[in-house]
Amino acid sequence: MNVEHDTRTRILSTARELFHGRSYADVGIKEICDLAKVQKGSFYHFFPSKQDLALAVIDDMADDWAHGFVAEAFDQNLPPLERLDYMIDAAYYWQKAAKDIEGRMPGCLFGNLALEISTRDDVLRAKLNAVFDKASRRFHEALDQAVELGEIPPLDSEATAAAMLAFLEGIILLAKTRNNPEVIRDLGPAIKTLRIELAHPN
């Protein structure tokens, strides 16, 4: 039982690493199998297709996020606005560590995949959409709490949350293009200045 799952897990984590570090199209199944020390036939025993593998990889990474530093960043005990700084910091240190080890910034797996395949694969696009929605909800919640505590004036918290997520993805994109994680630290703090006012009720 442990052995069976081990093969699947090895495939999953290898694929995740390769997809993140390069791209979906650029990584072949053979390469994944070789690195994971799995035979091709075994691969297709666990995953019906490359698309299914991608779906599983997205789920895997999203789970790790949700239980990892995202859970820490959006800890309910942290003051709402500090969670934003925490999130930026986490992104920075993660990307910096990756660059220090491999020499290049992988960026955000979800953002990478989204831009690469969302015009070609609606299933994967929908999956990534759901991941972004969930992330957006974290920002949303933090903003609502900040308003409740009187830390910021009322605002369109749902739209602002989406804008913050977009900004986060944007600075990671720019940092990756510059291959310089410091971009995240330099621009990131501006996330707290983003504001979308509530629409006029009349």
Partner DNA sequence: CTTCATGTTGACCGACCGGTCATCTATGAA
Partner DNA sequence: TTCATAGATGACCGGTCGGTCAACATGAAG
Q: Which residues are near DNA by CB under 7 A?
A: 3-4, 7, 27-31, 38-42, 44-46, 48-51
Give residue 86's identity as a one-letter amino acid code. Answer: Y
Nearer to DNA, 11 or 183 (CB): 11
53 interacts with a second copy by CB under 8 A: no
**Among positions 49, 72, 134, 179, the unique one binding a second copy when judged by CB under 8 A:** 179
**Among positions 41, 193, 200, 202, the unique one binding a second copy when judged by CB under 8 A:** 193
> For residue 29, what are its two tokens?
């199944």
Q: Is the C-alpha dihedral spanning 174, 178, 181, 185 positive or negative? A: negative
CA atoms within a 13 Å half-sphere pointing along the CA-CB vector of 184: 26
Give residue 14's identity as a one-letter amino acid code. Answer: T
Give residue 46's identity as a one-letter amino acid code. Answer: F
Binding mask 11-30 vs a second copy (x if CB under 8 A, - otherwise)? Answer: ----------xxx-xx----
> Minimal distance in Å, beta carbon 91 to a second copy?
12
User: Terminus-to-terminus CA distance in the chain, angstroms?
Assistant: 62
Nearer to DNA, 49 or 179 (CB): 49
